[in-house]
Amino acid sequence: MSHELHQTGALKAQARRLRLALEGQGRPVSHSAALELVAQSHGLADWNTAAALSAPAQEERARSLGDRVSGRYLGQAFTGRIHALRRKGPRHQEIEIQLDQPVNVSRSALFEALRRRIRSTIGPEGRSVTATSDGVPHLVLD
């Protein structure tokens, strides 16, 4: 993307203009295909990446790749580094964290289930959208 991040609305407007221009040349494309082409024209792999890097997305989140994070996953304290981020709708992200030390997510004393990397969809407040049966979010970032 250029030096200055674009707003999602501006990128969508570019996609609409592109779709209309191609349709005028007899080469119609879907709006989603136009979004993908706009993202690629800015040097990005796909629309999800463009949306995640857009100005509104940057304002909503203070997290980025490589950041150190800590919190609780299924009740276990952890520290680690953000390995991947992916936009999931207007206010959510899928986050993948490489843990510094594996956490045991099993509640049984007879069995260990170690996780070295965790992935979850989180809201802007850093809590997962999924929760245990007692309502506690699976992932809570500090």
Q: Where are the domains of the chain?
A: 8-60, 68-141
- pLDDT tens across 9-27, in order? 778 888 888 888 888 999 9
Least confidently predicted of 13-27, 48-62, 92-106, 123-137: 48-62
Residue 58 has φ and ψ, to the nearest 5°, of: -65, -35
In angstroms, what CA-CA distances link 119 with 43, 44, 76, 95, 132? 26, 23, 15, 6, 15
As a whole number, the mean pLDDT across the chain is 85
* pLDDT tens digits, 32-67: 888 888 888 888 888 887 777 775 544 444 688 899
Supply the pTM of this predicted model.
0.56
Contact of 8 with 2, CB cutoff 8 Å: no
The secondary structure element, H or E, covering residue 116 is strand 114-122
- Ranges of beta strands (E only) in 53-113 are 68-73, 76-88, 92-104
